[in-house]
Amino acid sequence: MKTANEREAELLASVPTGLLINGEWRNAASGKTLDVHDPATGTVLASIADASGEDAMAALDAACAAQASWARTAPRVRGEILRKAFELITERAEDFALLMTLEMGKPLAEARGEVAYGAEFLRWNSEEAVRDYGRFVTTPEGKNKILVAKKPVGPCLLITPWNFPLAMATRKVGPALAAGCTMVLKPAKLTPLTSQLFAAVMQEAGLPAGVLNVVAGSSASSISGPLLADPRLRKLSFTGSTSVGKQLMAAATENVLRTSMELGGNAPFLVFEDADLDAAVEGALAAKMRNMGEACTAANRFLVHESVATEFTAKLAARIGALTVGRGTEAGTDVGPLVEEKARANIHALVTAAVAEGATVLAGGNPVEGDGYFYQPTVLGNVANDAAILQQEIFGPVAPVTTFTDEDDAIQLANSTQYGLASYLYTKDFSRLLRVSEQLEFGMVGFNSGMISNAAAPFGGVKQSGLGREGGTEGIAEYTTTQYIGIADPYA
């Protein structure tokens, strides 16, 4: 029986440390390496190759060389490779979960949930690969014919964040492979190990060399810069902050790239006076505390009808105040560490400012002393509507509560943000759901549900939360282009 330390060491030793370029794991051209840390302890988990622009270009060369044959590979074959990868990840679910917990900090139970969610993008897209239909129609004039074909958009650059190390990669790689695209994947420097292991699984599943190339590195822009400047790249899919997304969109104009942007959020969580308050509190916990609040879909503002605000807030504070903070690897942990000290300091600054403006602390409110970047699960009441904590992504385990007077007020408050990703709505009134959803400027609405992510659903935002959708039948369309063939009257 191995000890936990031996198990961790064995897992870390199985993760490739090179850059994956044209089917080979290589050192960086510069010979440099990048350290990956455990945010619960600050210790170094592994050192991996640190890619530069030169490595990124070698990865693009490989992706371009593989593009034509991968596009011609039978959809069924592409689908079978994706399906095999789903099975391999499912078999190694415990390895993937532990690796994510080690490099990112989330509790193991949540990491297991992400493995299931992340792997599902491979299974879902294995099924989409063979059902990406075009169409054939007769023109309205009744003579000529119209043939509409789908084609892979071409070599892609996929850039992922650190908060969901597996799912953010599979959500892009799955549909890109299904559509027949080749790619360069650039994971976040804080959590590259999961992508390294995922790429190794894709190789084991039979993915040909050059189709998926992985270049992790300490300088993101020195990797993305030369790729975006190269006209052979045809698509950029980015998940991350709105500020970086805007810079990348600007750079993508040079070669008129197709772009998919999954950016930041500022999700309102609306609790109406007729809501089941206990269910709303449970939904709030899921929407707020999952991933330590480090999710683009995290409830960022609790907007509660004034008649039930006191009761809801007290129940929420009791539940959140009782959560167990600890290392993600420890049994019983509900809330792990934040990913780095900078993140924790930003969160504490938002809490401190809100309290200075009159908010009351009903639970938590401070960093946890000692090793790692832990923060107490926090509930703030009486938060002013113009407080900075309601305008910005908190990205931490802090729940600010404010009130509304009626439906119009709720909608107006919910929409008063430049973000438009997820929103949540608790009510028993189905007409209200339809009425309010229609007016909410958000790409997604959770109805009596604090968890909405699903591989079969179109995930994405409006306004400054992004462009395009991941998952559902919409996901693969981000990686295809349309070719129309006008056919002369076959009777002429």
Could you give the residue numbers annotated as active site? 262, 296
Judged by CB under 6 A, the chain residues 95 through 114 that form the site for ligand NAD are none
> At closest approach, how far in Å is the CB of 429 from ligand NAD?
29
Inter-residue contact 62 to 214 (CB < 8 Å): no
Give me 343's structure tokens. 């993140």
What percent helix, strand, coil does the chain show, rounded to 5?
A: 40, 20, 40
DSSP 375: B
> At closest approach, how far in Å is the CB of 298 from ligand NAD?
8
Cβ atoms < 10 Å from Cβ of 399: 30
Beta bridge partners of 48: 34
Query: Could you tell me whether strands 258-262 and 466-467 are parallel, antiparallel, or unpaired per DSSP bridges?
Result: antiparallel
> At closest approach, how far in Å is the CB of 260 from ligand NAD?
10
392 lies in the site for ligand NAD, by CB under 6 A: no
Name the residue nearer to ligand NAD (CB basis): 264 or 364: 264
> At closest approach, how far in Å is the CB of 28 from ligand NAD?
16
Nearest alpha-carbon partner for 67 in 146, 184, 159: 184
User: Quick check: helix, strand or coil at residue 300?
Assistant: strand
| Chosen residue from 67, 194, 203, 224 binding ligand NAD by CB under 6 A | 224
| Chosen residue from 95, 103, 262, 478 binding ligand NAD by CB under 6 A | 262
Taking every pair of Cα atoms in the chain, the longest distance, rounded to a whole number of angstroms, is 83
Element (H, E) at 218: none
263 lies in the site for ligand NAD, by CB under 6 A: yes
Inter-residue contact 134 to 150 (CB < 8 Å): yes
Give me 316's structure tokens. 């929420």
Name the residue nearer to ligand NAD (CB basis): 119 or 343: 343
418 lies in the site for ligand NAD, by CB under 6 A: no
> At closest approach, how far in Å is the CB of 225 from ligand NAD?
7
Judged by CB under 6 A, the chain residues 26 through 45 that form the site for ligand NAD are none
247 lies in the site for ligand NAD, by CB under 6 A: yes
| Chosen residue from 161, 365, 372, 420 binding ligand NAD by CB under 6 A | 161
Cβ neighbors of 1 (< 8 A, separation 6 or more) are none
The secondary structure of 458-479, three-state, reads CECCCHHHEECCECCCCHHHHH
| Chosen residue from 106, 112, 123, 189 binding ligand NAD by CB under 6 A | 189
Inter-residue contact 395 to 267 (CB < 8 Å): no
| Integer angstrom CA distances of residue 420 from 417, 435, 462 | 8, 17, 5
Distance CA 223, CA 306 (A): 50
Beta bridge partners of 151: 481
Q: Which stretch binds ligand NAD (CB under 6 A): 4-12, 123-131, 154-162, 370-378?
A: 154-162
Q: Which stretch binds ligand NAD (CB under 6 A): 101-109, 161-169, 306-314, 405-413?
A: 161-169
Name the residue nearer to ligand NAD (CB basis): 241 or 448: 241
Beta bridge partners of 486: 146
> At closest approach, how far in Å is the CB of 219 from ligand NAD?
9
Q: What type of residue is 293?
A: G
Which residue, judged by CB position, is nearest to ligand NAD in the bound state?
A: 240
Please work out the total of residues on this chain that contact ligand NAD, with binding judged by CB under 6 A: 27
383 lies in the site for ligand NAD, by CB under 6 A: no
Taking CB under 6 A as the rule, which mask of x and - marks residues 265-284 in contact with ligand NAD? x-------------------
Name the residue nearer to ligand NAD (CB basis): 46 or 277: 46
Q: Which stretch binds ligand NAD (CB under 6 A): 8-16, 41-49, 51-59, 157-165?
A: 157-165
Residue 249 C-alpha from the chain's centroid:
18
Q: Which residues bind ligand NAD (CB under 6 A)?
A: 159-163, 168, 186, 188-189, 220-221, 224, 239-241, 244, 247-248, 262-265, 296, 393, 421, 461, 466
